[in-house]
Amino acid sequence: MSENFRWGIIGTGSIAKSFARDLTFTSGHVVTAVGSRDLSKAETFAAQFNCTPLGSYEELVEQDLDAVYVATPHPMHAPNTILALQGGKPVLRKALCGKCT
């Protein structure tokens, strides 16, 4: 394992930004990469949080990461979580409703 715990984030919305911002208050945790269906959104996010932008969620789970944070809308939590798990990545996702059990 690297010196820092390397996070990848699926999604670039407000929850993703909050998570990335919160990591700046920790020691030993960094956002390494962000994946989006829209590369330009990933590039904007990456410029703000100094990480690698990727134009797909599949590309993200192929990266050398310690875990993935799923920050997409609720209907996409299950498929994005499964994608990351199939890519061998531990997953953290925020469940705000009963739809994500």
Gyration radius (Cα) of the chain, Å: 12
Domain count, the chain: 1
Give the amino acid at 30.
V
CATH number at residue 61: 3.40.50.720
Helix (H) or strand (E) holding 27: none
Instruction: Tell me, yes or no, if the pTM score tops 0.75.
Output: yes
> Whole domain around residue 94: which residue ranges?
5-100
pLDDT tens column, 31-70: 999 999 999 999 999 999 999 999 999 999 999 999 999 9
